[in-house]
Amino acid sequence: MRRYVAEAVGTYLLVLVGTGAIIVEETYGILGHVGIAIAFGLVVMTMIYALGEISGAHFNPAVSFAFWLARRSSQRHMLAYATAQCLGALAASLTLELLAPPSATMGATLPTTAPWQAWILEVLLTFALMYVIISVATGAKETGLMAGVAIGAAVTMLALFGGPLTGASMNPARSLGPALVSGRLEHLWIYLTAPFAGAALAVLLFRYTSLTHWRDMMLKTKVLFLCTGNSARSQMAEAFLREIAADRFEAHSAGLDPKPIHPLTKKVMAEKGIDLSGQHSKDLASYMGQMHFGYLITVCAQADRNCPSVFPGMGKRLHWDLDDPAAAEGTEEQRLSAFRRVRDEIETLVRAWVDEQACPTD
């Protein structure tokens, strides 16, 4: 539920700030086209950093659709995300109707070109945005040190070019809210269809340009580390396997009830020279039936007990019984000591397991 609330809040603020900037410009004439484009880019960038670890920071049904098409998220999440995003956008437009100066359009996207030209332009604009997103995203999440900057800059750049022509929506939810509140529905079909087509094209091109990468991935054994929260032990195991044997194994991790990565997890892994900024918590459900894993390794007793006995696409199943460092109490140094102990134990287990795969005994 947290992720859906985060999507609704992020989309709410995107529409509130972006279309609010349009209304301010209509009323006072102080922002200009460049100011509006910057407002959209900045709100997208800041929301990615604020909410990316929770929901993945899609804020756009076309983006959620593209991640589903790329098999990075489930259909259930895609539909729930789209619902939350549209509700957030509608709430933002209602807020502006109540609080902002009167506006005939409420910041709705209206083309200044022929409808067919606007449709093609929106396809191209969304294609460019989605190609950037899927290239810098981690899994189905827009996270990582530079992801927010890259995506926010792409939104600004495309809005500078496309804004005067189509409104540069690139987002069905962003267009839906203002259109419903203002009653300007005559061109809504453009913005409810073109972004999905553009996002699909971006996924197809990404798959083509990444063909060699995916071919290499197919040759690697996929390993899924599973624990309850996917905030400490499984994250460490994923990172160590990637660090030690990325040429032979494709490492993943997930949780039965995922929570954000624990700050001390990042701290103790940084001591080993491993940066976890590119990793994020994932739900086991997002992997169910999506890919074949050569190994499923549970790293806590609860995950071992509660993981489905029949897991579609699972090969061998192993269990490593590790203490939960997040349960440690005491001073900051005592808690760090617990995280370091578990970290070192996981590194030892991963190295030993990798060696066993090189020289199997059975």
DSSP string, 67-78: HHHTTSS-HHHH
C-alpha dihedral (266, 270, 273, 279), degrees to nearest 10: 20
CATH number at residue 173: 1.20.1080.10
Catalytic residue among 132, 159, 254, 307: 307
Q: Quick one: 162 and 85 in the same domain? A: yes
Distance of alpha carbon 254 from alpha carbon 224, whole angstroms = 7
* Mean pLDDT, all residues of the chain: 89
Spatial CA neighbour of 75 closest among 63, 67, 86, 87: 67
Residue 256 has pLDDT above 80, yes or no: yes
Across 25-34, 63-72, 130-139, 328-337, least confident range: 130-139
Boundaries of domain holding 256: 220-358
For this structure, is 86 an active site residue?
no
Residue 42 has pLDDT above 60, yes or no: yes
**Would 93 be classed as within a structural domain?**
yes
**Would 310 be classed as within a structural domain?**
yes
Report residue 10 as tokens.
């992020």
Q: Quick one: 161 and 305 in the same domain? A: no
Q: Quick one: 196 and 134 in the same domain? A: yes
Q: Quick one: 186 and 230 in the same domain? A: no
CATH number at residue 318: 3.40.50.2300
For this structure, is 227 an active site residue?
yes
Q: Quick one: 53 and 119 in the same domain? A: yes
For this structure, is 307 an active site residue?
yes
For 90-128, b where at least 16 C-beta lie within 10 A, e where not — what string? bbbbebbeeebeebebbbbbbbeeeeeebbbbbbbbbbb
pLDDT category at 75 given cuts 50, 70, 90 is: confident
Residue 102 has pLDDT above 50, yes or no: yes
pLDDT category at 360 given cuts 50, 70, 90 is: very low
Predicted pLDDT of residue 313? 53
Predicted pLDDT of residue 362? 43
Mark which of 209, 237, 264 sits at the end of a domain. 209
The number of domains in the chain is 2
Report residue 181 as tokens.
């509140």
Q: Do residues 329 and 335 make contact, with C-beta atoms less than 8 angstroms apart?
A: yes
Q: Do residues 66 and 199 make contact, with C-beta atoms less than 8 angstroms apart?
A: yes
pLDDT category at 107 given cuts 50, 70, 90 is: very high
Please give the sequence-ordered ranges of beta strands (E in DSSP) within the chain, or none if there are none.
221-227, 249-255, 293-298, 314-319
Catalytic residue among 121, 300, 303, 322: 300
Catalytic residue among 227, 254, 297, 346: 227
Tens digits of residue pLDDT in 274-307 = 999 878 888 887 777 667 788 889 998 876 676 5
